[in-house]
């Protein structure tokens, strides 16, 4: 497969996708494309996505390391086992933070994935609090829907807004996740302090903006313990917001 490098952004994080075979005569092409992709990062974080690299050799790795050596704020999104074994073997003195999947991406970069994202204010029934909370969700009446990963960018006592995060581009992601199919979803929302709540919700609206896909959700069902935990979390966030506003 002819190698290709594609750069896109989610919030302030640049995702640099490498696709195809990074071997032999293709390495000069890859090197030139990587050089262009790593220009103008301006100190912002970047993630080199190896998920779709089919194979790599020492020449290919050399072209990657030559470009990445001068970039400190860089993580590697893990590829196949064979690619990663080869990558780690020849990385030398360079050290990278390795991300396994979308969940790691959300946990590491949090609010940086949200900067510049558009949220549809007109659908809000009450004031929402800005957050950066990891969430997993699935949908489908037969419970066989794909488990998705996102980050909750704002929240209130009734619901929240999810920014869907996927390794694929938005165009490719929407072939698997069709917003018109999503009417209800099941979720597990990670709160601070290692706590989480699970339940189901109704999708009020969705929004597609550049490389991000957002879903507005109203909570319909949670068990009593999770309702209490969720309410306490929202209350603490509201009190914190009021405290900081008074301190200005």
Residue 227 lies in a domain: yes
Q: Find the helix packing angle between 27-37 and 58-68, rounded to 10°.
A: 20
Q: Are residues 72 and 167 in the same domain?
A: no
Instruction: Give residue 165's domain range.
Output: 120-246
Residues in the chain: 248
- Across the beta sheet with 13-22, the strand order is 4-10, 13-22, 46-56, 74-77, 97-99
Nearest Cα to Cα of residue 189 among 239, 243, 142, 150: 150
Per-residue model confidence as pLDDT tens digits over 103-157: 888 888 887 887 765 544 444 455 678 888 899 998 865 445 567 888 898 899 9
Per-residue model confidence as pLDDT tens digits over 79-114: 999 999 988 888 877 788 999 988 888 888 887 887
Residue 204 lies in a domain: yes
Domain boundary among 72, 100, 128: 100
Residue 111 lies in a domain: no
Phi, then psi, of 5 in degrees rounded to 5? -120, 125
By DSSP bridging, strand 4-10 and strand 184-190 are unpaired
Q: Are residues 40 and 133 in the same domain?
A: no
Q: Are residues 143 and 219 in the same domain?
A: yes
| Residue bearing tokens 């938005």 | 170
Residue 176 burial (10 A CB sphere; 0-12, 13-18, 19+): exposed
Q: How many domains does the chain have?
A: 2
Q: What's the pLDDT score for residue 121?
A: 46
In 10 A of CB 220, how many CB atoms?
12
Nearest Cα to Cα of residue 108 among 153, 77, 85: 77
Confidence band for 210, pLDDT divided at 50, 70 and 90: low
Say yes or no to pLDDT of 168 above 80.
Answer: no
Nearest Cα to Cα of residue 17 among 48, 57, 55: 48
């Amino acid at each position: 497969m002819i190698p290709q490098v594609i750069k896109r952004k989610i919030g302030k994080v640049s995702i640099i996708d490498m696709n195809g075979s990074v071997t032999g005569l293709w390495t000069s092409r890859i090197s030139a494309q990587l050089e262009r992709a790593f220009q103008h990062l301006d100190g912002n974080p970047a993630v080199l996505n190896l998920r779709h690299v089919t194979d790599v050799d020492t020449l290919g790795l050399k072209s990657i390391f030559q470009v990445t050596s001068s970039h400190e704020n860089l993580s590697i999104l893990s590829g196949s086992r064979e690619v990663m074994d080869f990558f780690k073997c020849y990385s030398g003195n360079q050290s990278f933070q390795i991300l396994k999947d979308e969940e790691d991406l959300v946990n590491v970069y949090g609010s940086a994935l949200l900067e510049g994202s558009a949220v549809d204010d007109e659908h809000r029934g009450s004031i929402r609090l800005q957050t950066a909370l990891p969430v997993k969700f699935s949908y489908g009446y037969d419970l066989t829907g794909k488990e998705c990963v996102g980050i909750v960018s704002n929240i209130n006592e009734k619901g929240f807004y999810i920014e869907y995060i996927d390794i694929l581009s938005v165009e490719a992601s929407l072939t698997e996740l069709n917003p018109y199919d999503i009417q209800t979803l099941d979720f597990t929302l990670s709160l601070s302090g290692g706590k989480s709540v699970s339940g189901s919700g109704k999708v009020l609206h969705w929004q597609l903006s550049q490389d991000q896909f957002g879903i507005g959700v109203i909570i319909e069902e949670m068990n009593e313990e999770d309702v209490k935990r969720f309410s306490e979390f929202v209350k603490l966030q509201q009190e914190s917001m009021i405290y900081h506003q008074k301190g200005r």
